[in-house]
Structure 1
């Protein structure tokens, strides 16, 4: 109440002083006349003071509707607001610039990103609608047609602050005579809401992105586990079937095969739920498998292993080498009369390690073609684990057979987003 009364008295006093000065000018203009039109000046002065009083009441009512209070801060024609934003200065300035550009009735915008400052002019409107100021509003009719908002962003590390100053686009002395009907408070509130809304949208977008990343990671892990589960039974079923046959035909060899199978399982079962292994562990598992096959195939199977000791700790997906070895046996050497040889090789090239399983068996042919699940699983697991840092190639081996090569990075891969699956290559199951 005190602030309202002070505003009324101050404004009326300013207008009374202006009328007093105008009276001197009036009397000087009509000096020497016996009957100067003093009554006309008095009438105009009275009408002006009534209009001033009506404008004051309109201003108080408008500010009360906008803010719900009447104090010095809300009644002032010039508003100041500081907003803390949890973003770095560049992002904050972009949000501020966008908010000022979308401000209703904004007619001009000047922004300087280097200095983190922006200025905008906002056209005033009548409080009853989007129209020029009412002819009965003396304050609005006399001078101010635009309000001005100045914005400055202050950097502060990971956060920043925005200083908003909004007032009439006119000299400060006009505040003694003219009021804004709360238009500057409305403007500064609109900019504050716009910045808050945009920060909220940005945070929601970040949360959605994190949630999507977590979901994709969970789906990737689930898919890897599913692919892993597809590989292991495929090998175990074939090995147990061979052991069953040898148990009936050659118990001694069957006993030796079961010993190698136990050795294989000892190395395999602890890793059955782990997507990552090492080249050394995979090599031991593959050699145990090949020892089982040597018992079954006899002189028809020969193996050569050439893997440097410094590469045995290389991380690689579990059961992947075993899949290639099993594929070479099933489709390359078993159908070939007289059998053949399998090579297990590893070599380095720049920051890549090439792991190759080669055979001199039947090669690519329609008689040994399978469903392609095994090699498709190899490609998919490489894509999900390493993204574009790893690759898989299968080509004809000279003069006979097939060579399958996995190229792996020397260093462990960081979390990657899997690229789209590559076009299918010619493959054996």
Structure 2
């Protein structure tokens, strides 16, 4: 109540001083100065308009802010808003919020300096002003507001300084009220920023939930892959070993030894446990040795994996998937068979592991469903993000080459810890 009374007294006192000056000037005019009735009537009408306009301003400010104090009553509003995003993202969010403000016009933004300014038409919340252009409350300033906003970069956020004010000098505030329009603009921009930040957080949360679901599905598929050995492969291997026991007991014994080695490396692991390139290579070689006994001279294997790289962390079954693809879709369909190459090289981007064959290549009849490669890509993304990749290209002069690129040992540990953090 005290703030409202002081506000009314300040406005009324400023107008009384102005009207006193007007009366003094009128009285000094020769001829018409002796007629006091016109100037007195004008002063009374002006005083009535001033008081009613100020009271309307008080009531509207109370409706908008729910309170009346020095901060809400002012024609010029300042807000300090913290946006929990990097300065560039905070600027984009602020710029979008200002451009959606009702009655906004002449928006000027400079992303390099992180500044936005705009003009805002000032609506009259009560329709047309009484007496129109003859209303003395319309004689000071222009019926338009303006705003300026600056983003100050912090460590991991942007601090917005927002100023909403009339497009007129500060001295006009002594005589004119803005009917709470600048308060409304400042509140509207603050709400828009809050809503956009909350929407961004919801989207991030939804994306995190989606990623977690995808990871669970991928882990489930991996667990299933670990828990089962392909029935046809196991059946064919045991059938071949049984047949060899009648004609070549030594080769049958070798085949069973390789099968034991393969099965030992195929035991299920915990979902977060990593294997190594060396362990995965032993599993793949056991698999290939079994196939060499079954396929005979139709299959050749060449391995070039330096000992220094065999400790490279590698998700289980990835190398095996690439080797199985080379056999099933590249060499087995060919009558003459072919060669499988496994090689590894260290580079600036990590360790590149390549499985290549000289089989049928990208033949639609033998290309398969792509589920195995899709599973590998999903697991790489979940484990390493953008730091790992799978590239599948045509091999020259025939066949396919699939290359896994994964971080080296120290980098892989860091990436793995971050993916589970």
Report the TM range for the smaller structure's normalisation. 0.7 to 0.9
Alignment partner of 1:141 is 2:138: yes
Does the residue aligned with 1:390 lie in a helix, a strand or coil?
A: strand
Does the residue aligned with 1:167 lie in a helix, a strand or coil?
A: strand
Alignment partner of 1:407 is 2:408: no
Q: In the superposition, relative to structure 1, how do residues 181 and 230 fare at CA in structure 2: closer, same or farther (>3 Å)?
A: same
Q: How big is the shift at 1:101?
A: 1.8
Q: In the superposition, relative to structure 1, how do residues 222 and 60 fare at CA in structure 2: closer, same or farther (>3 Å)?
A: same
Q: In the superposition, relative to structure 1, how do residues 12 and 229 fare at CA in structure 2: closer, same or farther (>3 Å)?
A: same
2 CA distance for matches of 1:287 and 1:27? 113
1:10-31 residue CA offsets vs partner (Å, 9 max, x unmatched): 2221111111111111111135
Determine if contact 2:305/2:345 at 8 Å carries over to the other structure. Answer: no
Q: In the superposition, relative to structure 1, how do residues 270 and 75 fare at CA in structure 2: closer, same or farther (>3 Å)?
A: closer
Structure 2 residue corresponding to 1:66, chosen from 53, 64, 67: 64
Q: In the superposition, relative to structure 1, how do residues 11 and 232 fare at CA in structure 2: closer, same or farther (>3 Å)?
A: same
Determine if contact 2:109/2:117 at 8 Å carries over to the other structure. Answer: yes
1:55-82 residue CA offsets vs partner (Å, 9 max, x unmatched): 2221221122122222222222222221
Map of 1:350-369 to 2, 5 A cutoff? Answer: 351=347, 352-356=352-356
2 CA distance for matches of 1:236 and 1:229? 13
Q: Which residue of 2 aligns with 1:427?
A: none
The alignment's TM-score, normalised by the length of structure 1, stands at: 0.73
1 CA distance for matches of 2:58 and 2:233? 86
Alignment partner of 1:12 is 2:9: no
Alignment partner of 1:239 is 2:237: yes
The alignment's TM-score, normalised by the length of structure 2, stands at: 0.74
Q: In the superposition, relative to structure 1, how do residues 167 and 96 fare at CA in structure 2: closer, same or farther (>3 Å)?
A: same
Alignment partner of 1:319 is 2:320: yes
2 CA distance for matches of 1:272 and 1:5? 74
Q: In the superposition, relative to structure 1, how do residues 172 and 348 fare at CA in structure 2: closer, same or farther (>3 Å)?
A: closer
Q: In the superposition, relative to structure 1, how do residues 328 and 313 fare at CA in structure 2: closer, same or farther (>3 Å)?
A: farther
Q: Which residue of 1 aligns with 2:419?
A: none
1 CA distance for matches of 2:76 and 2:250? 100
Q: Which residue of 2 aligns with 1:2?
A: 2
Q: Which moved more, 1:107-116 or 1:55-64?
A: 107-116
Map of 1:412-423 to 2, 5 A cutoff? Answer: none
Determine if contact 2:306/2:344 at 8 Å carries over to the other structure. Answer: no
Q: How big is the shift at 1:176?
A: 1.4
Q: How big is the shift at 1:223?
A: 4.0
Higher-Rg member (1/2): 1
1:61-117 residue CA offsets vs partner (Å, 9 max, x unmatched): 112212222222222222222111112222222222222222111232233333322
Structure 2 residue corresponding to 1:165, chosen from 141, 146, 163: 163
Alignment partner of 1:177 is 2:178: no
Q: Which residue of 2 aligns with 1:44?
A: 42
Map of 1:18-417 to 2, 5 A cutoff? Answer: 18-30=18-30, 36-129=34-127, 132-135=128-131, 138=135, 140-143=137-140, 144-226=142-224, 232-245=230-243, 258-269=256-267, 278=276, 280-285=278-283, 288=286, 306-307=303-304, 309-310=306-307, 312-313=310-311, 315=314, 317-320=318-321, 323=324, 327=328, 331=332, 345-347=341-343, 351=347, 352-356=352-356, 376=370, 379-385=373-379, 389-391=390-392, 405-409=401-405, 411=407
2 CA distance for matches of 1:247 and 1:312? 35
Q: What are structure 1's unaligned runs of at least 5 residues?
A: 398-402, 416-429
2 CA distance for matches of 1:65 and 1:274? 57
Does the residue aligned with 1:319 lie in a helix, a strand or coil?
A: helix
Determine if contact 2:77/2:186 at 8 Å carries over to the other structure. Answer: yes
Q: How big is the shift at 1:278?
A: 4.9
Q: What are structure 2's unaligned runs of at least 5 residues?
A: 381-387, 416-421
Determine if contact 1:231/1:319 at 8 Å carries over to the other structure. Answer: no
Q: How big is the shift at 1:145?
A: 0.7
Q: Which moved more, 1:264-273 or 1:189-198?
A: 264-273
2 CA distance for matches of 1:77 and 1:36? 39
